């Protein structure tokens, strides 16, 4: 979305909708994969999550997330590669991600899905949102930033 000149307008419209679909996170342990600069991290914290782990592989993004949302006492910021992430079983009640899978290969998605099923507690929620159906943004570029 940051490649789109209307990003702030789009964000203001879509963020409340995404969170309404997610449902309540109050009192829950949330794992946010691909947390980036924190578009959703602060919302998850403010909604009463017991604990939020915000993970992204880009240190600069996590630092910006920390700058924006470090005031919350219920958040932990981590830099790491989701494809290499190791967590104990039943460690979270909600796994949330917005625009992560498009960056992974099919094999990485399959492996991640299998591990998420172990990480989420019984009765927990795995919430992934992927909405790209065309090239993102309206700024000119020569490469595809949505696949590494």
Higher pLDDT, 148 or 136: 136
Residue 63 pLDDT:
98
Q: Kindly indicate the confidence band of residue 7, based on its pLDDT and cuts at 50, 70 and 90.
A: low
pLDDT at residue 15, rounded to an integer: 81
pLDDT of 148: 38
Q: What is the rounded average pLDDT for all residues in the chain?
A: 88
- The pTM score is 0.83
pLDDT at 2: 53
Structure tokens at 40: 């959703």
| ∠ Cα 124 98 102 (to 5°) | 115
pLDDT for residue 137 is more than 70: no
Q: Answer for the pair 95, 33: CB distance below 8 angstroms, yes or no.
A: yes
Q: In this predicted model, what pLDDT tens digit does every residue of 77-123 receive, in sequence order?
A: 999 999 999 999 999 999 999 888 888 888 999 999 999 999 999 99
User: Average pLDDT of 51-76?
Assistant: 98
Measured between alpha carbons, how far is 96 from 141 in angstroms, rounded to an integer? 29
CATH architecture of 20-129: 3-Layer(aba) Sandwich (3.40)
Q: How far apart, in Å, do the first and last CA atoms of the chain sit?
A: 17
User: Which pLDDT belongs to residue 147?
Assistant: 46
Cβ atoms of 79 and 58 closer than 8 Å: yes
The torsion angles phi and psi of 141, rounded to 5 degrees, stand at -160, 165
Residue ranges per structural domain of the chain = 20-129
Q: Nearest-CA neighbor of 40 among 96, 82, 92?
A: 96
For residue 102, the model assigns a pLDDT of 81
The pLDDT value given to residue 17: 86
Q: Give the residue-averaged pLDDT of 27-53.
A: 98
């Amino acid at each position: 979305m940051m490649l789109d000149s209307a990003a702030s307008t789009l964000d203001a419209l879509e963020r409340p909708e995404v969170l309404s679909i997610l449902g309540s996170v109050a009192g829950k342990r949330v794992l946010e994969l691909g947390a980036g600069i924190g578009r959703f991290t602060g919302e998850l914290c403010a909604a009463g999550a017991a604990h939020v782990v915000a993970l992204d592989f880009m240190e600069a993004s996590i630092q910006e997330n920390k700058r924006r949302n470090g005031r919350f006492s219920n958040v932990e910021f981590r830099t790491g590669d989701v494809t290499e992430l190791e967590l104990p079983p039943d460690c979270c009640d909600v796994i949330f991600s917005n625009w992560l899978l498009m960056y992974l290969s099919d094999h990485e998605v399959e492996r991640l899905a299998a591990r998420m099923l172990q990480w989420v507690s019984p009765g927990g929620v795995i919430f992934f949102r992927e909405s790209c159906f065309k090239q993102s943004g309206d700024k000119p570029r020569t490469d595809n930033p949505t696949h590494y």
